[in-house]
Structure 1
Amino acid sequence: MSPLVWLRNLYSKSQPFKGGELILTLAEQLKAWRKANRKMGWNITQDEFDKQEIMPSLADGTVNQGFIGTALFYGFGDDGSGHSDAVLSGKLAWDYGLRRRNGKIWQCEYVDFDKSEDIRLRPGAPPRPRGFYSASLQPGKNLVNLTVSQLRKRLGTVTGWGPEGFQFLTITHTHFADLMTERKIPFMALADYDVAPYGFNDFYDAPQIFCSNNILGLGIGNVDRNYPLFGIPTLQFCNGS
């Protein structure tokens, strides 16, 4: 059985999904970040946690665009221009997921976070801030009929998920992975990353995250091809991020 047929058998659109009530409060998200920081030794300081006092609410009109709430993210490292290293920020979260899920993670051989010629933040994507930042989220249900390349041409103040996808699913909102297993939400294509499956800076794929039988999987898909089982999550940075 081909991987595409196997994935198709896992997912159906039979049940409507409303995700707003499943977005955790700021206090709950900070608790999850504190736990991850302690277990992984990331050295996020107490002062950084203390500064997170109020979670911005959704902007007017974004609910009609499929946005369901606001989540907290963290930019690790430095890209050399004063912004965070988006690949490192994704890798650290994925490493945490591997530990937290007791190895119940599958990773495609073509995704290597340690090779800059294999994965990058796509050209034109907004740089990610260093430290904590927040963003309003659309988890992908409204964008299942587009290719990643088609979506990228339509982006304005909204952009695709990059490191946010890994942090959302492995740190703050792990229950969304369970919703994938239960076939209540589509799998996710991370449109703000580029992947070169064979290296040499030949970028034409994007990461794809799926979950089945409690196994969280990381694969890739061509940016010019539509994958019916995958939505494309988007986000809008909150003021001050």
Structure 2
Amino acid sequence: MQDLVLACHITGVYDVNRNMTLADDSYELVREWAESVAAAKMKGVIFHNSFSDHTCAKYSTEYISFERITYNPAFNPNVFRYFVYRDYLASITQVQGVFVTDVSDVTLAQNPFIHPLFTANPDSLFCGDEPKTLHNEWMLAHAEHLRSQISDYTDYEERFASEVLLNCGVFGGHFPLFFDFLQQLCALHEAYNHTNKTAYTGDMGAFNYLARTRFNDNLHHGAPVNTVFKAYENERTDCWFRHK
């Protein structure tokens, strides 16, 4: 049985988070992620649409591998990555634990799969969070499209308004629970987010909605899963992942 850390790097598409289009074949954008995973001697997979064969050969190791994908512009890269993970995990066997993370602003600090909190909670979803509540100006704008599509979305926003905002830049769990969550997340995007014409991707909205309405009783977020978001706690080693 193997544990996996997965990330996706798609270029050639305007990045709404950085307000730019990422350069093709730039390993520097994923270097810190890859090196942190390899340093922990863990299996990491980077899905990509632009690394050259030379780059993949140069940086592939016994721990880090590259999988080329064909990007479907029907979905924003922030959303399309979940379909990539779903299809990949459906095609392989002998997976025990999985985390999926952002690739350019997340690094691994310690192996989550051997931590007592993880091993003792096979039915839990582990994810990042932010030092703010669900009810905030950015999330209200971000969820405009989903609010118009999902009948109970407004009720969910009101019910969990004062709860901590979850961050989908880091999430994982034991394979059965994780894959169930991932399949439901993809189904939400396929059903409700494919017609999204707003300036927001909907990834945070769908993630928080699903986690809070269907997995809230078995949810672990914040330390030790992640450092404080955007606090740039680069020296912390007591959490599993550093997120900005």
TM-score, L = length of structure 2 = 0.31
- Greater fraction of residues in helix: 2
TM-score, L = length of structure 1 = 0.31
